């Protein structure tokens, strides 16, 4: 049975939407907006302090929007900002202990949503799905 690229795109979008809804439901108790949650994940993934401009680029938003997101996370005690000692015009962002704990909670909530969604797949099917998603994600 042939499947058109349009059908594949629709199936992937429907699946992504379902996963996002499940994730949002499990993340709701944290009280963060989806954009704040994404920003917190990006800061957490940084091996060192993240630069504000790099965070904006990685999120695909303008620097002013990144500043607003980081300010909200700072007000919530989840991140801290500091001036880059090597470039005083650059702002560095890092997780606080509380931010790290919230980020770990977010990871557990996402894993729980994913577990429910992918429970119908065997381990071999999960491996194959991951391989295929990696393949199309690199295009």
For 67-113, write each residue's pLDDT tens digit.
Answer: 999 999 999 999 999 988 888 888 899 999 999 999 998 888 888 88
Give pLDDT, residue 18.
86
pTM of the entire predicted model: 0.75
pLDDT of residue 139: 57
Residue 9 falls within a domain, yes or no?
no
| Domain interval for residue 73 | 15-137
Classify residue 4: in a domain, yes or no.
no
Number of domains in the chain: 1
Residue 89 lies in a domain: yes
Asked if the structure places residue 115 within a domain, the reply is: yes
pLDDT in the model for residue 80: 95
Q: What is the pLDDT of residues 110-137, one digit of tens each?
A: 888 888 888 999 999 999 999 999 998 8
Residue 2 inside a domain? The answer is no
Classify residue 127: in a domain, yes or no.
Answer: yes
Say how far apart CA 35 and CA 115 lie, in whole Å. 23
CATH classification at residue 128: 1.10.10.10
Instruction: Give residue-wise pLDDT tens across range 22-71.
Output: 777 777 777 888 889 899 999 999 877 888 889 999 999 998 999 999 99
133 located within any domain: yes
Distances (CA, A) of 95 to 8, 46, 47, 105: 38, 10, 11, 14
């Amino acid at each position: 049975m042939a499947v058109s690229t349009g059908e594949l795109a629709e199936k992937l979008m429907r699946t992504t939407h379902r996963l996002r809804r499940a994730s949002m439901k499990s993340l709701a108790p944290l009280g963060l907006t989806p954009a704040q949650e994404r920003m917190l994940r990006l800061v957490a993934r940084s091996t060192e302090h993240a630069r504000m401009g790099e965070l904006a680029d990685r999120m695909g938003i303008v620097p002013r929007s990144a500043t607003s997101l980081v300010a909200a996370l700072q007000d919530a005690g989840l991140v801290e900002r500091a001036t880059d000692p090597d470039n005083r015009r650059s702002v560095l962002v890092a997780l606080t202990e509380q931010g790290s704990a919230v980020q770990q909670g977010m990871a557990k909530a996402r894993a729980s949503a994913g577990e429910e969604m992918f429970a119908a797949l065997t381990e071999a099917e999960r491996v194959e799905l991951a391989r295929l998603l990696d393949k199309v994600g690199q295009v």
